[in-house]
Amino acid sequence: MPLVPDLDDAARSGVGRAIDALAGRRVAVLTGAGVSTDSGIPDYRGKGAPRRTPMTAQTFLSDEAARRRYWVGSHLGWRAFSAAEPNAGHEALAALERDGIVTGVVTQNVDGLHLRAGSHRVVELHGTMRRVFCTHCGQVFDRRDIAERLERDNPWITVPDSVPLGPDGDVLPESAEGFAIPACSVCDGVLKPDVVFFGEFIPAGKFREAEQLLLASEALLIAGSSLVVNSGIRLVERARRRRLPVVIVNRGETRADNRATVKIDAGTSAVLSELARALPAAR
């Protein structure tokens, strides 16, 4: 069982108010990168997060050199990223779903840790690193198979020491020279991870799934997201219009702090574990 850090007095007070707000309600959950930091995957914007220049979809598709740099970094980080284990926060949300309290999880993360922790209804807004697809013919590949191809075609590549892992499982490579990038084995087209790149829109059908989950719920719990991405704010606004309780758990400010019924400035693993312990008894 993952270790859960202690909460300070202010956070414990916030947990008590959150329990009061959520007790007896069916709860939709929105998670961001902060939920996975205790699994060793860094946040995008939190304290200590590495400085990053996001790869845009347009650059990835139009610039072979940029595409090569992306695949080098993505491959170097893949092993560490894929080896990450669900933490106490992921497990707490899975337990709340089993208890019939959480209706499902809408996540901005691409790490798949909610599913591995046992959550069943998971809407992956930004896609998943588990799959790669061809932008020409649409063929879908398992990321593990692509990783094997990359290692076979680039046997000289090694993971450098002390290079920070990015939130999407990549690192910033020193050089991409000579790296053989993968192509579609069906049509030789350009392969792309099944994730939403910077500048891309979330598929409309995927956001509708998130809206339907919220419609089936009576409260919204946000964990580990600063809500900089507009999809999160849109869900908060839909909850606000229905006058649903909104509980936010995040280290630091978010864009919706002034709309929250309860805001808890603390780590997600500890708070979610407390909620998983208390909410079943509060029904």
In degrees, rounded to 5, the angle at the alpha carbon of residue 193 between the alpha carbons of residues 79 and 115 is 65
Question: Residue 272: which residues within 8 A CB-CB, separation 6 or more?
Answer: 88, 89, 92, 93, 223, 249
What SS3 string covers 23-83?
A: CCCCEEEEECHHHHHHHCCCCCCCCCCCCCCCCEHHHHHHCHHHHHHHHHHHHHHHHHHHC
- The answer to whether the beta carbons of residues 128 and 194 sit under 8 Å apart is yes
DSSP 169-207: S----S--TT----B-TTT--BEEEEE--BTPPPPHHHH
Amino acid at 29: V
Within a 13 Å sphere around the CA of 245, how many CA atoms are in the beta-carbon half? 17
Cα separation of 236 and 256, whole Å? 8
Active site residues: 126
Residue 125, CA atoms < 13 Å, CB-side half-sphere: 24
Question: CA 105, 169, 229, 34: dihedral to nearest 10 degrees?
Answer: 60
Classified as helix, coil or strand, 219 is strand
Give SS3 for 229.
coil
Q: Which two tokens stand for residue 76?
A: 């170097």
